[in-house]
């Protein structure tokens, strides 16, 4: 497997085409979109890696520091620069920060991986509080007017036995201070983060050991100056906007179209088709989301109907049914040794059986993880499913633990386990009852 670093999930059509052709020429033609706005290629051979790298480098692509104990992809709002309601366009900042990290040996041997989010979006569509470090848009009033910047949150991590949301550090930074602040947090993590056990080597452990007050003091000492207190107004939305469908941009007469990639898996031919559509109907750009979907921006109003009539949009729909629109799944056991179940295949089966049976006013928000590492982020979904197996006579069948009520933003809450060992075949009827308001007690009685 190869995971490509795509800062903020942005790619040109030429890069998308190169990714697609690399997947088909060197791999199986299978592509997975991740919950960190990246693309993974499958079934690559070691002997092909030099040729693969050469082709990708020619297109401005690479997979540097996307695994092991590095700072992973810098995520952010997929409609940065497009949304009229955004507070700050973070694309250039994310690029600057990424450039500071790539090839910098000071940050290639951290205690564990480090997830970083930088967003100027008020809707929290990049799920800031699930990251080790998050720059959350914020505003404070000054005599000269409103000043925009970011409040810092740290210590988020959903994997393992002790998932945790990022907590406020009571720090405000201006846009021009973002890179310096991020690198100083990384310095603290590198120099003081626990390394004895990998299961206890995330930033959250250091933060819980020190507490927010000491962490802030150590950060000030590293910076050599006092930090300003967090802004009074923090824009941390509920993270519900999947950006599917047709939306007006801040630019006159232009729209972006959000397309559903079912469970985040696509064929190389589909990505190549998207690249071609982005050139014909937009400005040759695609954007990937943390919900494992894709956007085509910069579509003129006069060209919208023609784009929506394209055959590829029958496969990657801008208007999927609610169960599919809110469905997120980790890689699954066809490509991941840790997963107990085929999350993507079973997820598609589940969505099909829920079609037409759920309220159609919003996505159902069903997240599936194949193991406790939680790559499907099941803890923050309305319906979180953690894969398992159970014996039925002589047969081993896929099953799930059910988590309910996960939420982000002002009412952030980790989903609570409501039931164990639910046979996968029983999930559709159970979720329909729950979506109708039956609640967690129904899940417990049904399990």
pLDDT in tens, 189-205: 999 999 999 989 999 99
Q: Where in the chain is the domain with CATH 3.90.480.20?
A: 1-79+243-320
Annotated active-site residue in 291, 347, 370, 384? 370
- 375 a catalytic residue: yes
**Is-catalytic flag, 3?**
yes
- According to DSSP, residue 415 is labeled P
Would you say 17 and 280 are in contact if contact means Cβ atoms under 8 Å apart? no
> How many whole angstroms separate alpha carbon 242 and alpha carbon 289?
8
Q: What is the pLDDT of residue 220?
A: 97
Q: What is the pLDDT of residues 379-407, one digit of tens each?
A: 999 999 999 999 999 999 999 999 999 99
Q: Model confidence over 308-318: pLDDT tens digits?
A: 999 999 999 99
pLDDT value at position 360?
87
Output the pLDDT for position 437: 57
Q: Which residue is catalytic, options 282, 365, 375, 384? A: 375
Mean of the per-residue pLDDT values of the chain: 95
Q: Which of 9, 376, 384, 406 is catalytic?
A: 376
Of the candidates 17, 36, 112, 202, the residue annotated as catalytic is 112
- pTM, two decimals, is 0.95
Check: CB of residue 260 under 8 Å from CB of residue 316: yes
Whole-number percent of the chain with pLDDT over 90: 94
- The CATH code that applies to domain 324-446 is 3.30.413.10
C-alpha closest to that of 234 among 126, 127, 135, 133? 135
Q: Among 151, 159, 121, which Cα is nearest to 134's? A: 151
Check residue 447 and give its pLDDT: 44
Mean pLDDT in residue range 336-357: 97
Active site residue 113: yes
Mean pLDDT in residue range 346-352 = 98
- Summarize the chain as % helix, strand, coil (round to 5): 35, 25, 40
Marked catalytic residue, from 5, 36, 113, 153: 113
Q: Determine the topology of domain 1-79+243-320 in CATH.
A: Sulfite Reductase Hemoprotein; domain 2 (3.90.480)
Specify whether 95 is catalytic.
no
Rounded to whole angstroms, the Cα distance separating 193 from 12 reads: 37
- Residue 273 per-residue DSSP state: H
Q: Which residues pair with 391 in a beta bridge?
A: 396
Q: Does residue 443 surpass a pLDDT of 70?
A: no
Active site residue 260: no
Q: What is the mean pLDDT of residues 69-81?
A: 97
Active site residue 216: no
| pLDDT band at residue 361 using 50, 70 and 90 as cut-offs | confident
Beta strands in 186-306 (DSSP E): 233-234, 245-248, 254-259, 265-267, 285-288, 294-300
Domain with CATH 3.30.413.10 in the chain: 83-238, 324-446
Using DSSP, state whether 439 is helix, strand or coil.
Answer: coil
3-state secondary structure of 134: strand
Give the C-alpha distances (Å, rounded to integers) separating 398 from 82, 364, 442: 42, 21, 21
pLDDT tens-digit map of 13-34: 999 999 999 999 999 999 999 9
The topology under which CATH files domain 83-238 is Sulfite Reductase Hemoprotein; domain 1 (3.30.413)
Structure tokens at 55: 């082709």
């Amino acid at each position: 497997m190869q995971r490509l670093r795509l800062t903020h999930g942005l790619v040109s059509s030429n890069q998308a085409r190169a990714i697609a052709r690399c997947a088909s020429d060197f791999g199986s033609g299978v592509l997975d979109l991740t919950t960190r706005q990246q693309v993974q290629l499958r079934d690559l051979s070691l002997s092909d890696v030099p040729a693969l790298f050469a082709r990708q480098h020619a297109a401005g692509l690479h997979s540097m520091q996307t695994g092991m104990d590095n700072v992973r992809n810098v995520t952010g709002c997929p409609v940065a620069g497009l949304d009229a309601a955004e507070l700050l366009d973070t694309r250039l900042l994310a690029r600057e920060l990424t450039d500071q990290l790539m090839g910098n040996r000071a940050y290639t041997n951290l205690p564990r991986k480090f997830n970083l989010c930088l967003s100027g979006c008020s809707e929290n569509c990049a799920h800031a509080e699930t990251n080790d470090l998050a720059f959350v848009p914020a505003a404070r009033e000054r005599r000269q007017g409103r000043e925009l910047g970011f409040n810092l949150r740290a210590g988020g991590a959903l994997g393992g036995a002790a998932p945790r949301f990022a907590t406020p550090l009571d720090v405000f930074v201006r846009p021009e201070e973002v890179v310096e602040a991020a690198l100083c947090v990384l310095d603290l993590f590198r120099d003081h983060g626990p390394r004895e056990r990998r299961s206890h080597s995330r930033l959250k452990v250091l933060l819980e050991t020190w507490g927010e007050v000491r962490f802030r003091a150590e950060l000030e000492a590293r910076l050599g100056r006092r930090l300003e207190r967090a802004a009074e107004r923090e824009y941390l939305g509920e993270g519900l906007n999947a950006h599917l469908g047709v939306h007006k941009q801040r630019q006159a007469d232009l729209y972006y179209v959000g397309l559903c990639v079912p469970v985040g898996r696509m064929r190389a031919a589909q990505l190549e088709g998207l690249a071609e559509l982005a050139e014909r109907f937009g400005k040759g750009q695609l954007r990937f989301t943390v919900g494992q979907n894709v956007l085509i921006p910069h579509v003129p109003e006069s060209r919208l109907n023609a784009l929506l009539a394209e055959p590829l949009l029958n496969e990657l729909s801008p208007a999927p049914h609610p169960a599919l629109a809110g469905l997120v799944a980790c890689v699954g056991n066809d490509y991941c040794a840790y997963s107990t179940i085929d999350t993507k295949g079973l997820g598609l089966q589940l969505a099909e059986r829920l079609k037409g049976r759920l309220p159609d006013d919003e996505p159902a928000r069903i997240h599936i993880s194949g193991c406790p590492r939680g790559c499907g982020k099941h803890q923050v979904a309305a319906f979180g499913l953690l894969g398992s197996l159970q014996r039925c006579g002589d047969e081993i069948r896929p099953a799930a633990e059910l988590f309910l009520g996960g939420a982000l933003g002002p009412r952030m809450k980790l989903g609570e386990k409501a039931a164990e060992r639910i046979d996968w075949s029983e999930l559709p009827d159970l979720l329909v009852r729950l979506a109708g308001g039956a609640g967690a007690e129904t899940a417990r009685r049904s399990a």
